[in-house]
Amino acid sequence: MDFSGRHVIVTGGTGALGIAVVGALLEAGAFCHVPYRGANEAERFPHRQHKSLKFYPDVQLIDENDVGRFFDAIPKLWASVHLAGGYSGAPVAKTSKSDLMRQIDNNLVTCFLCCRAAVNAMSKSSEGRIVNVAARPALEWRSGAGMAAYTASKAGVAALTAALAQEVAGDNILVNAVAPSTMDTPSNRKAMPKADHASWPKVEEVAATILFLASPDNRATRGAVVPVYGKA
């Protein structure tokens, strides 16, 4: 896949999956634009010195004005990959309204605002790719027992993806999402030391799926929420 000369936004680009996605994009020739919140995120980012990477500090993705200014600064946006989000698990009986709204803000609202800004930016060139990140419980609701707030927020991302894909199909903007199961990351291994880590999808494998959906090679796939489960 050739991204040479193409500008790509990656929100959540400093996380485990983000590092894999940005690394693969840079290798494919893309110019990556990565917002971040804390200086320590930038300092530990392995690709920080790459000539085709630009960091944007203190972008609040739940603030529509911040998101608008960030996207307006990108020249001729080709693809926007939305990895930013957060996880919190608890039974419904122990989940407060503020807990629920935090999940909706972190996962659904940030995705919605970035999708809106991306569509507005891509409409100038009448082409583009948007890739969101849902999760396995977004497709298999019963598997979200014990984390219903997170499940609802990610199910919203899946529904947003399908609806938006239909909305902008005539504008040559292809919108898709991936739905990973638990990914093989150091933090997930630490949180679940007795799990079958070998069955989890690797971040590089999830990144490969994202790259295809965001690439010029994808000429037809839209409205998909692609399961990336590995062997789990």
Query: The domain spanning residue 108 has which CATH number?
Result: 3.40.50.720
Instruction: Supply 69's token pair.
Output: 């200014």
> Is residue 135 domain-resident?
yes
Confidence of residue 182 (pLDDT cuts 50, 70, 90): confident
Q: Let me know if residue 182 belongs to a domain.
A: yes
65-113 per-position pLDDT tens digit = 999 999 999 989 999 999 999 999 999 999 999 999 999 999 999 999 9
pTM of the model: 0.95
Angle between helices 203-214 and 16-27 (to 10 degrees): 50
Q: Within a domain: residue 160?
A: yes
Distance, in Å, from the CA atom of 144 to the CA atom of 55, rounded to the nearest integer, reads 34
Range of the domain at 34: 7-228
% of the chain at pLDDT higher than 70:
100
The answer to whether residue 201 is domain-embedded is yes
**CA 114 to centroid of chain Cα atoms:** 10
Q: Is 122 within a domain?
A: yes
Residue 2 belongs to a domain: no
* Stretch 148-173: mean pLDDT: 97
| Domains held by the chain: number | 1
Residues facing residue 176 across a β-bridge: 131
Measured in degrees and rounded to the nearest 5, phi and psi for residue 81 equal: -110, 120
Residue 168: the pLDDT is: 97
Q: Is residue 170 part of a domain?
A: yes
pLDDT value at residue 121: 96
Are 47 and 24 spatial neighbours (Cβ–Cβ below 8 Å)? Answer: no
1 located within any domain:
no
